Amino acid sequence: MASPRPKVLVVDDEVEVTYALQHYFQRKGYEMVTAFGGAQAMAQLEQGPVDLVLLDVMMPEVNGVEVLKYLRAERPQTRVIVITAFDDEYQQIIERIGVHGFLNKPFGIEQLTQTIEQVLQRPIGQTVSLLHEASAETGQPSVMPKAKLLMIESSEYVFNLKRVFFTSAERCGGHYEVEAAYSMIEALERLHTFRPDLVLVDLLAAGSLGDLAAQILSSADRPKELIIHGSGTVSHRQQERVEALTRRGVQLVLNETFTQQGVRRLNTAVHDTCLRHGLTVS
């Protein structure tokens, strides 16, 4: 590592995410500082060097690209890991400037830990090819599904992480219209107004799972299929309800919502379900 106690600056306008990363890596022995926007990040960097910057790209006002330009001009010895949300808008610019690592949201904490450790061990001048890595993440299938997806989520932040993936045909290999609901009332309203082909229910948002699923399955606007997904740590009470629902044809996908692998596993289920129901690009 760059030093016995590496100093890491986390730059992200999502306050909860920033604090969570700060507390986690402090417990692992890192010296952590935070900034909730590009201007704050540059102010922090003026106070002294850091070993590594975790840099979100999509921020209001001063975005991550501007911070990256500042770092290359003023702090060229600082390693940078860029964090993106499956957004290609700035990739060519970032590629030209050069970064030492990158992660696509959503990512797992173990993946982030490994990336930080690997980047701190590399020579400072050894950058990575963002465009090459991003293009290799997913391959487009030969048959392109097309469907309306209603996602029942625990929060807008969690939904947005999935939305940016499922609304990018290059990333997910399909053409999807996506809407969200955050309660049973909203879900039933969206069923009627949006008329989704598939409903995806995150276990974190399931609440009274049996009641929610029963309402969806008995609705006059019932979707072609209901997919329940989320972490494999299902409670005993939830497990009984899930098993009862699977007997009614409901799919269960055990995935880690906040990891790339987890989102891709959900994407595979959505893709296969669309093909089974003939929901493809005409």
The residue ranges of every structural domain in the chain are 7-135, 146-276
CA–CA gap between residue 149 and residue 229 (Å, rounded): 14
CA–CA gap between residue 98 and residue 80 (Å, rounded): 9
Tell me the average pLDDT of the chain: 81
Q: Per-residue pLDDT tens for 80-97?
A: 988 876 555 667 677 778
The CATH number given to 7-135 is 3.40.50.2300
pLDDT for position 215: 84
Neighbours of 206 (CB within 10 A): 22
Amino acid at 140: Q
Q: Per-residue pLDDT tens for 138-158?
A: 444 457 899 999 999 888 877
Query: What value does the mean pLDDT take over residues 29-38?
Result: 92
Residue environment code for 226-243, b if the CB has 16+ CB neighbours within 10 A, otherwise e: bbbbbeeebeeebeebbe
Under CATH, domain 146-276 is a member of which superfamily?
Response regulator (3.40.50.2300)
Neighbours of 187 (CB within 10 A): 22
pLDDT for position 83: 83
Q: What is the crossing angle of helices 109-121 and 15-27, to 10°?
A: 60
Report whether pLDDT(209) > 70.
no
pLDDT for position 132: 41
